[in-house]
Amino acid sequence: MPNRIRGISVFILCAILVLLLRLAQIQLLEPESFGKHHINLLEESVKQRAQEFLLDDGRGEFYDKNGRALTGTKVPSLVLFPFLKDMDWDVEALAEILNVTPEEIEAAVRTAEKPIVFGRPLTEEEMEKINRLKIPGAFAVYKETDGKDTIAAQLIGVIGENGKLFRERYPDRSGSAKTPVGLTGLQKGFDEFLIPDENSRLVFHVDGKGDPLFGLHVRYISPANPYTPLKAIMTIDGEIQREAERIADLHKMKKGGIVLLDIETNSVLALVSRPNLDRANPFSGDGSKNFPVEAQIPGSVFKTVIAAAAIEEGIVPPDRQFDCDRPITGEGEAERKLGVLDFPASFAQSCNYTFAQLAKELAEKDKNLIEKYAERLGLLEPVGWRGDVFRLPDFRQLPDEEGGRVFLNDEERRDKNFAALTGIGQKNVRITPLAAANMMAAIARGGEKKQVRFVSEIRYADGSTMFSFPEQRMAGENISPDTAKALQKLLRGVVEKEKGTGSALNRLPAAVAGKSGTAETNRYAGEKQLLNKWFVGYFPYEKPKYALAVVNLEVFADEGSVLPIFADMVKYLHGKGS
C-alpha cells in the first residue's frame, strides 16, 4: 500500500511539473512563437477579447521619383464599429456632414459584425468635423488602400502572408504568420528594409458576446519608432509610367513589355509588363511574370553584338560586300532578297546572310568571341543594381532579374551552323528587354555600361536619407569609344535609310537610332508560328536622353508591330518636354 501511494504521488508530482513547464513555455519562453506552427499567443489572446480594425500593416512603401506614393496610399475614411447599433448616438449630425440619410448609416451598422469603412473617401474638412463630434465607435482616420490600382505592378511585386517564409528569413525577429513579406519584384528585394515592426490599428475590447468592456474606449495603436516604416524612393516617374501603360493597352499588347531608361543616370523611368497582374490570383497566368526582366529570344536585335565584334576585330572593311539574296547557309536563295549590300546597308536592312557569315568568321577566329562582345555590351549578366548595403553583402535590388546567354555548351560554340543561327539571334540566344535597353544606353554614352537602378534611395519615415544607391559601372570590359561611335551610325541608319527596318520612325519629332528584331519561337497557334517582335533604341540621336525597348512576345507575323508603340512613346516624351 505505501508503495502504491508513493507511486501515485510521484505520478501526480510529475504531472504537475509537466503542467508547470508547459505553463512556463506558454507564458514565459514562447508567448510570441508557440508550437510547431509558431503561434503568437499574445496576439491570439487579444483577438479573443477585442475587435480590431487595421489601418496600416506597418510595411514600408514605394514612392516614385517625385515623392508620390505608389503603394499603400492612405485614404481619409470613416470607420464605424458595430456596437453603435446598441447605442443612442448623434447619427443625424454625422449624416449631415456626409450628405447622406441617417437610415443609410444605421443600415450599414446594423448588418456589420466587424468594424467597417462607410461611404466615400472624406475631405480634410469632413474628417475634422466628424472627429469633433466625439462619437464612440465613429472615427475619421487615414486607411491604407488595397493597392488594386498600383502602377508598375510586376516591377514593384507582390506581398503576402507566409509564416514559414518569414521565419526562414528572419529567425531572430518577432512577428506572426500574418506579417506581410515580399514574394516577388522589388518587394522581395527590399523586404529586409520594408518588413513591418508593428501595424497601426483601432482596438476596442469586448466580452464574449461582442459587447463593450471598459466603457466605450477605442484605442489607437501605432508603431512607437518614429523612423519607421521606411520609404523606398523608386527611379520611375509615375506620370510617364501611367502613360507607358496606357500606350501598351492602346495597342493591345497581350504579352510583352516596355522599358524606358534615363541614359544620364541609367535609371528606370518606366517599366511595363503585360498582361496585367491579377491581384486576386497574383501567381496565376502570365500576369504574374515581369517579362522585361525575363530572358527572351531577341532575333536581329542581337546583330548589334555581331556588328560590334566585327568592327573591333576588323573583319568588315568599307569595301566589303555581301550577297543578301543568299540564305544564312550560303546555298540557294533567301526568302527575302535584298541584293548585294555593304555592311551598313546590311545592318539597316537586317540581312541575315551578312550576320550569319560574320558570326561564323568570328567563331572560327575564337569560339568565345561572340560571348565576349555580348558581355562587353552587358547582355549576359543581370544588369540591375547590386552591391553591399550595410550588413547585406551583394544586395540585389531586383533578385528576380534573369541573365542572358549565347550558347549552352562548348559543342555549340564550335559548330558553324550554331554560330550562323546565333549571329541572327536565334537558337539558344536569350537576352532580357531590360538588358537590351541598357545596351542601347551604353552605346549612346560612348560604350560605358552601367548598372540599372530601380530605387535611388531608402528614407526614414521623417524623410531623412537612410541609404542612397550610387550610380555604378557594370563589371568587365566595355566596347571601345570608336566602336560605339560606329554602332551609333549603324543604329541611326536603321531608321534614317529608306529601306531600313525602322524607317517608319524617321519622321518623329526626335531623331531615333535603334535596331529591330523578329525572332522565331518554338511555339505555334495551330499551324502558324509565333514570333517575338522587338525594337530597341535611343533618342534624341544628337543628344541622347532616353533608351527604350519595346517587345511583343508570341504574336503572328501579320500583327503586333512594336514600331507604333515606340513611336507613341517618343512623341509623348518629346511633347512632355522632358
Rounded to whole angstroms, the Cα distance separating 554 from 297 reads 10
Residue 112 is placed in which grid cell? Answer: 456589420
Rounded to whole angstroms, the Cα distance separating 563 from 534 reads 8
Any idea which residue has 521619383 for its cell?
65
DSSP class of residue 34 equals: B
β-pair partners for 459? 231, 465
Rounded to whole angstroms, the Cα distance separating 130 from 78 reads 9
| 94 CB burial (10 A radius; 0-12, 13-18, 19+) | buried
- The three-class DSSP label of residue 332 is coil
Given the residues 77, 200, 273, 300, the one annotated as active site = 300
9 is known as an active-site residue: no
Rounded to the nearest angstrom, the gap between the alpha carbon of residue 33 and the centroid of all alpha carbons in its chain is 32
β-pair partners for 475? none
Angle of helix 352-365 versus helix 416-423 axis, rounded to 10? 130
Rounded to whole angstroms, the Cα distance separating 547 from 568 reads 14
- Which among 144, 146, 133, 183 has a CA at the least distance from the CA of 162? 183
H-assigned helices in 415-562? 416-423, 433-445, 481-496
Rounded to whole angstroms, the Cα distance separating 105 from 540 reads 58
Would you please indicate which residues are annotated as catalytic (active-site) residues?
300
